[in-house]
Amino acid sequence: MNPFGPLVPFPQRTFSDRLTLHTVLICQGVLAIACAVIYLGVRETLQWSLDSALLAIARTEISAAIASPQDSLQVHEQAPLALALPAGSGYEKFAQIVDGTGQVLAKTSNLPGDAALPLPRAPVAGGPTYADIRHAGRSFRAVYWPLTKDEGDQLLAVVAMPTAPQQFALNMLAGTLALAVVLAGGAAALAARPLARRLTRPLETIAEAARQVGGQNLAARIPDVARDEELRTVTGVLNQMLDRVEEAFGTREQVIAAQRRFIADASHELCTPLGSLRGTLEVALRRPRSLAECRDCLETAHTEVVRLCRLVRDLLTLSRADSGQFAVRRVPCDLADLARDAVAAAEGTASSQGIVLDLDCAGPAPIRGDADRLREVVDNLLDNAMRYAPFGSAVEVRVWSEPHRACVSVTDHGQGLTDEERAHVFERFYRADAARARDTGGQGLGLAIAMAIARAHGGTLEVESEPQMGATFTLALPGEQSPARGQDPATRAAAADAAVGLRAAEAG
């Protein structure tokens, strides 16, 4: 258990506050270092000046002492020469001369009675020696200089000056420098705060734009108000990210809408044959029926079951295409032969509708593909063309081969497609004329399946149409000598093996 209670977290600071604080600390730190260097330099200068003054006075006193008899030694009360001390006035001279036993032979009057300056603990030999001493509760700087008179007597000259003026000057300097550091910190804060706000204002704009995006306003973008290159770069990158987010959400909405439309259309298409089948069976069970009536009911039910099975098979094909499990066999085949077989199979239906099928094959069109699936594409294109071709018109089927691809086109001379219809014509359950398509048995899945098969072969399926000018659907596939786009031999072999399993599953 914590005896001090729960820890109180530090209040969170904004980036602007931290930037201002760091700027102030850095400025004060740099200025403090500079002030420390100035202070130490001035202190050394004052110390050197004081030592130089003491040395000059001591040299004068020694010269006078050597020239005077020992019984008449004296020291000057005032400095015998003009001294230039940078710390100002207040320097009082203290001096004395002692013999080898420490007896004071001469001293200044400011050392009354038995008062004397402290002597060094160790003997002084050679030149002058400096020391910091205390006398009468005051701090002094002293110089000790030994001398030898002509008679051989060993004397010691002691000259001292108080350090109070020097310390006063240093204290004033320290206070001035400290005040300068504080004022500089305040000035830095005043200067850094607007700068920090200017730097963080684009970040606040970015945050506001992010909040708007979070509120489902996906069209919101960050205005380019930053003056700095780095922030402009961040703004540009975030706007690009928002573009991708908006695009992703738009795609998601489109996918959801397409799924809902697909479910609704699939349910409607499934309900139609199921409702017809149910109605036929209910009518058949209302009363006893003759053998002929029972046969008619069964034929009607069989027709609806076939229609229902075809719809389920088409939905299964599209589902496999969406999941990437739509595999096709790749064996040599001729697109021209597939077109001839499809036209021959459709001749009867075309004749009953008063439509003429016109086939134009310039020659063989060799490809590698799944003949059954490609035949299904041509059948769907023919079925679509005959559904919209007017009575007495022709449906033209043209097959040709190019250096790296083989093509087949189916053209009708019906009502054609508008730009909007052409953009949706390959969507599932889409009908340019819904009422007419249902009357003719169309479910709106044929072209979607044809597109899936074309893509599985590495080909394309395109439409060209103008209103009241008919429509031309063109299937283009890689030629036999041109490998399918995006598929290597190993992939094609795997696709062939998968196709065998797919057909077995469909047959089951």
pLDDT recorded at residue 442: 56
Pick the closest to residue 418 from 348, 466, 378 (CA basis).
Answer: 466
pLDDT recorded at residue 338: 93
Q: How far apart are CA 361 and CA 103, in angstroms?
A: 141
pLDDT recorded at residue 85: 62
- Residues of the chain with pLDDT > 90, as a percent, come to 25
Confidence bin at 436 (pLDDT 50/70/90): very low
Q: How far apart are CA 234 and CA 486, in angstroms?
A: 37
pLDDT recorded at residue 216: 65
- pLDDT reading at 409 higher than 80: yes
Range from 218-227, 426-435, 484-493 carrying the lowest mean pLDDT: 484-493
- pLDDT reading at 435 higher than 70: no
Domains of the chain with CATH codes:
229-316 (1.10.287.130), 326-478 (3.30.565.10)
40 three-state secondary structure: helix
Given a contact cutoff of 8 angstroms between Cβ atoms, the answer to whether 123 and 35 are in contact is no
Going by their DSSP bridges, the two strands 138-148 and 129-135 should be labelled as antiparallel
Dihedral over Cα of 103, 108, 113, 114: its sign = negative
* Stronger pLDDT, 507 or 107, i.e. the higher one: 107
pLDDT recorded at residue 386: 92
Given a contact cutoff of 8 angstroms between Cβ atoms, the answer to whether 373 and 456 are in contact is yes
Q: How far is CA 40 from the centre of its chain?
A: 50
Q: How far apart are CA 486 and CA 474, in angstroms?
A: 21
DSSP assigned state of 228:
S
**Longest CA–CA separation in the chain, Å:** 171
Q: How many angstroms separate the Cα of 167 from the Cα of each of 33, 140, 401, 497?
A: 21, 11, 107, 100
Average pLDDT of 105-130? 82
Give me the phi and psi of 348, to 5 degrees please: -65, -45
Average pLDDT of 203-221? 72
- Residues of the chain with pLDDT > 70, as a percent, come to 81
* Stronger pLDDT, 440 or 352, i.e. the higher one: 352
Q: Which of 291-300, 481-490, 499-508 has the highest mean pLDDT?
A: 291-300
Q: How many angstroms separate the Cα of 235 from the Cα of each of 211, 239, 404?
A: 15, 6, 47
pLDDT tens digits for range 344-373: 999 998 999 999 999 998 889 999 999 988
pLDDT recorded at residue 9: 53
Q: What is the DSSP string of 466-488?
A: -TTS-EEEEEEEEBTTSPPTT--
Confidence bin at 340 (pLDDT 50/70/90): very high
Confidence bin at 83 (pLDDT 50/70/90): low
- pLDDT reading at 2 higher than 60: no
pLDDT tens digits for range 302-322: 887 887 787 777 777 777 766
pLDDT tens digits for range 453-491: 899 899 999 999 988 888 999 999 998 754 444 444 444
pLDDT recorded at residue 226: 66
At CA 155, angle to CA 152 and CA 161, rounded to 5?
A: 155
Exposure class string for 22-41: b at 16+ Cβ within 10 A, else e: ebbeebbeebbeebeeebee
